[in-house]
Amino acid sequence: MQRLHSLLRRQIARFFGDSFAIPEGWQGFFDAVNSAYCESDADRDMLTMAIELSSQELMQANYELRKSELRFRLLYESSPVPYQSLDSNGCFIEVNQALLDILGYKRHEIIGRQFSDIMTPASNDLFQRLFPRYKECGTLRDAEYELVCKNGALINVLLDGKVSYNPDGSFKQTNCIWRDITEQKKMEDELWKYREHLEDMVKERTAELKTANEQLQREMKERKQMEKEMARLDRLNLVGEMAAGIGHEIRNPMTTVKGLLQLLSDKEECAGYKEYFNLMIDELNRANSIITEYLSLAKNRMVELKNRNLNHIVTAISPLIEAEGRVTDKHISIELQDIPDLPLDEKEIRQLIFNLALNGLEAMVPGGILLIRTFQEDGAVVLAVRDLGKGIEPAVLEKIGTPFFTTKDNGTGLGLAVCYSIAASHNAKIDVETGTTGTTFYVRFLTPSPLLDCPRITS
């Protein structure tokens, strides 16, 4: 009885009393029950030991987990890189201290707020477009936003992030890091402004260089033109000096011959030769007119300048020009604008206008119209004579005004040379525009203050 398990002995004593003896035939049964109780105790001891062991392992695991969480939290909070996590609505659910330091908020002031609440309107619009795509694709790279700090200052940040998911694959939260690029943006803005400043300076200098180059081109062109004019004037002066030297010596015998021819033509016995005498007298007159043109090129000739109006001179000589035009069925058109008086030698200006008009008439076919205009332009009084001829060839244009150069069969080559000489004696300039539809000669007179009427010697 004493070898029985204590639990079995208590149960036998409860039902049969302490003096109960195991019957002879039941000994095997009680041994089996007793053996089961003993094995149960052994199993219970093993289970207890297993539970105690598992509890110790669980406690160790919990300890390690708490240590890991502490390390993670310490790393998260002490990291110099700003971190944030947002829920599916874009609200802050986690931030670290670096982010709070940048924004100037306390943790309780930022958790639960919409991220878009601290954005500028333009960045808010961008966030509303990007956030749904970020949640869908799971990654974010270099998303730039402009944020408003608690003190009202603006900062620029770049966000990189990934999405965390629940075990069932549903969205859990976003996890992002910030890069503060405010100073970088300021430097970029400064560089951009400096670049624009440099571009403006380059444009300004380029414009100045272009202007200087254009001015240089004009000066070179004017210098070339001036050299041509000087060469032309030198030739005119040479011809004028020659004419002045020999003109009177030639005229004197010509005058004598002309007088004798006139006397002989009046005699009755020479009446049959009247036609020949008249031809010789005409040729002498023509030679005399050529000498007169030579003398017009003389360098030191008297020019009597008086304050006159160019319009009056044009009007006075226009009947003579119209008469020349009617001979060859050509017409004259005159357009005169209000112009100031100029110091002019009327006789020479009449010759200038007539020579230009006569050249224009000769350049046109019957029915053509010669236009004579006066007007003011760029501080000068301009006389313009335009014909409707076929224009002047470039090779001929280069030699315009050269003494004795002519394209006419019976020309002397002195008409335009005289015009240039007269223009020079009036401080005027002659320009030519020519094309297939005609040619225009412009004589530009400067408009100085009125002078007292006085003669002067040209130089």
Mean pLDDT of 292-301: 59
Band of residue 459 on the pLDDT scale cut at 50, 70, 90 = very low
pLDDT tens for each residue of 219-274: 898 888 777 777 766 766 666 666 666 666 676 787 888 888 888 888 888 878 88
DSSP single-letter state for residue 54: H
Q: Is residue 392 part of a domain?
A: yes
User: Are both 249 and 368 inside the same structural domain?
Assistant: no
Residues 270 and 357 in one domain: no
Q: How far is CA 246 from CA 41, 61, 243, 295, 298, in A?
A: 164, 135, 5, 10, 11
Contact assessment for residue 110 and residue 100, using Cβ atoms and an 8 Å cutoff: yes
pLDDT at site 261: 82
Please say if the pLDDT value at position 383 is more than 50: yes
The answer to whether residue 309 sits within a structural domain is: yes
Q: Is the pLDDT of residue 167 over 70?
A: yes
What single-letter amino acid sits at 448? P
> What pLDDT shows up at residue 23?
62
Burial 253-291 (b: 16+ CB within 10 A, else e): eeeeebeebeeebeeeeeeeeeeebeebbeebeeeeeeb
CB 324 within 8 A of CB 273: no
- Please indicate, yes or no, whether residues 89 and 136 belong to a single structural domain of this protein: yes
Is 187 within a domain? no
**Both 323 and 440 in a single domain?**
yes
Domain that holds residue 45: 6-75
Cβ-contact 174, 165 below 8 angstroms: no
Same domain, 44 and 126: no
Q: How does the average pLDDT of the chain come out, rounded?
A: 81
Between these two residues, 107 and 1, which has the higher pLDDT value? 107
**Pairwise CA distance, residues 22 & 113, whole Å:** 81
Domain limit, last residue, from 276, 299, 322: 299
For residue 368 the two structure tokens come to: 């053509």
**Quick one: 43 and 99 in the same domain?**
no
Number of domains in the chain: 4
Q: What is the structure's pLDDT at 458?
A: 47
pLDDT tens-digit readout, 71-128: 656 656 667 889 999 999 999 999 888 899 999 999 999 999 999 999 999 999 999 9
Specify the CATH number for the domain of residue 336: 3.30.565.10
DSSP 3-state assignment of 82? coil
Residue 438, in any domain of the structure: yes
Of the two residues 259 and 148, the one the predictor is more confident about is 148
User: What pTM, to 2 d.p., does this model score?
Assistant: 0.43
Is the predicted pLDDT of residue 330 greater than 70, yes or no? Answer: yes
Residue % of the chain over a pLDDT of 70: 73
DSSP secondary structure string, 178-207? EEE-HHHHHHHHHHHHHHHHHHHHHHHHHH
Of 299, 320, 349, the residue that ends a domain is: 299
In a domain, 124, yes or no: yes
Confidence of residue 457 (pLDDT cuts 50, 70, 90): very low
Which of 299, 330, 363 terminates a domain? The answer is 299
> Is residue 328 domain-shared with residue 243, that is, in the same domain?
no
130 and 42 inside one domain: no
Residue whose token pair is 């400096």: 194
Residue type, position 129, single letter: R
The reply to whether 305 and 292 lie within a common domain is no
Q: Give the model's confidence band at 452: pLDDT under 50 very low, under 70 low, under 90 confident, else very high.
A: very low
Pick the range with the lowest mean pLDDT from 137-141, 194-198, 369-373, 414-418: 414-418
The C-alpha atoms of residue 201 and residue 57 are separated, in whole angstroms, by 77
